[in-house]
Structure 1
Amino acid sequence: MNTFCLEVSGPFACFTRPEMKVERVSYDVITPSAARSVFEAILWKPEIRWTVTRIEVLKPVRWINLRRNEVGAVVSTRNVQQAMNAGSGKLALFIEDERQQRAGLFLRDVAYRLHAELALSPKARDPLVKYTEMFARRAARGQCVNQPYLGCREFAADFRLVTDPASEPAALAESRDLGWMLHDLDFANPADPQPRFFRAHMTNGVIDVPPFSGEGARS
């Protein structure tokens, strides 16, 4: 079996709409790319690929407005390179000098069931069963490489492996058109990855994710 289901939840989430620029405004539900990152946080290897196929929304869509302090700068690569060459250097950022206050429209009290398929990359040498068993073992124990999060790293996600999705409670009894949603980034040109979008529809709490290059996707 190479298809897995995870139930993820958390008090807050933000799956940022790229068209909103500076201010953080979330999509109504988790995006396929954010769902993929949850699976990769539990198990990621260069030899495997995760493909999200289905998203089930378990709780009503609820919002919260927050204003947060963020750091508006990063350490420059030039300063990092100079420090590496010299063996020492000043790479600190002073928060008081770089602080920016930004408003955000986030989701609160979210829960989803995420379905994804695990496949081998063309360069893989080990059999698929090695990685499926590894993932099942890690997810069942609550182990992860990195803490899964819901859009932003500060919004940590709880997760559990769902071994029998058919026996789980039904998804949210709500249907709506979610509009154009970010599917994932196309890394055909690694130097300039391009976002791909798809028309998302939630039917009785279920979003069927089309293939990445399938009908309905657009750049």
Structure 2
Amino acid sequence: MITYDVMPPTVARQVLATVYGNRCDLSRIEVVAPISVEWDTVTTGRGERRALVLRNVEYILTAVGPSVSTGHRLDAQTAVHLGIADFPATLKIRGDDDWPVNGLANSGTIDLGWMPYDVHRSSRRFFRAMMHDGVIDIPPPDQLTLAS
């Protein structure tokens, strides 16, 4: 099972779609908590598997679009997960003065390798993810090189 060092844009978009619908565009992922991984057993549609999984993650997702500015709030009953259902997520809509400190500030540039940019029924596209001081800027697809 593949685990990335940071939540891929495909998963971040799924989280945003849960909150705002599909009418917003992800522009940035900020890593707040230091990256931590451990081996675990997860259950997928193919049965139990060992996987190296992220632990104690915290991100700030930045998106643009008409529905982001309208103040949608998350329904407490909505099931949200990070990738697969074994990894439930707790979401918090933060106010302007309620932002955590970036845990990777001044960490320099980290090449995260090829990550899923978007996934459609018949195709997957990947991009070369670079994290600068804990921040991954997600450019629009027409401004980067995508591999499929």
> Which of the five TM-score ranges fits, normalised by the shorter chain?
0.7 to 0.9
Report what 2:73 is aligned to.
Answer: 138
User: How far does residue 52 in structure 1 lie from its aligned partner after superposition?
Assistant: 0.7
Residues 91-130 of structure 1: pairs in structure 2 closer than 5 A: 100-119=47-66
> In 2 relative to 1, CA 182–69 (structure 1 residues): closer, same or farther, beyond 3 Å?
closer
CA distance in 1, matches of 2:42, 2:2: 13
Q: Identity of counterpart residues, as a percentage?
A: 33
User: How far does residue 150 in structure 1 lie from its aligned partner after superposition?
Assistant: 1.2
CA distance in 2, matches of 1:157, 1:171: 19
**TM-score, normalised via structure 2 length:** 0.83
* Greater share of residues in helix: 1
Please tell me whether residue 177 in structure 1 is matched to residue 133 in structure 2: no
Query: Bigger relative contact order, structure 1 or 2, given CA contacts below 8 A and separation 6+?
Result: 1
SS at match of 1:150: coil
Structure with max Cα Rg: 1
The answer to which of 157-166 and 51-60 deviates more is 157-166
In structure 2, runs of 5+ residues without a counterpart are: none
Contact 1:59 1:172 in 2 (8 A): yes
CA distance in 2, matches of 1:39, 1:64: 26
* Greater share of residues in strand: 1
Report what 1:198 is aligned to.
Answer: 127
Aligned length: 146
Report what 1:29 is aligned to.
Answer: 6
Contact 1:31 1:183 in 2 (8 A): yes
In structure 1, runs of 5+ residues without a counterpart are: 1-23, 73-99, 120-127
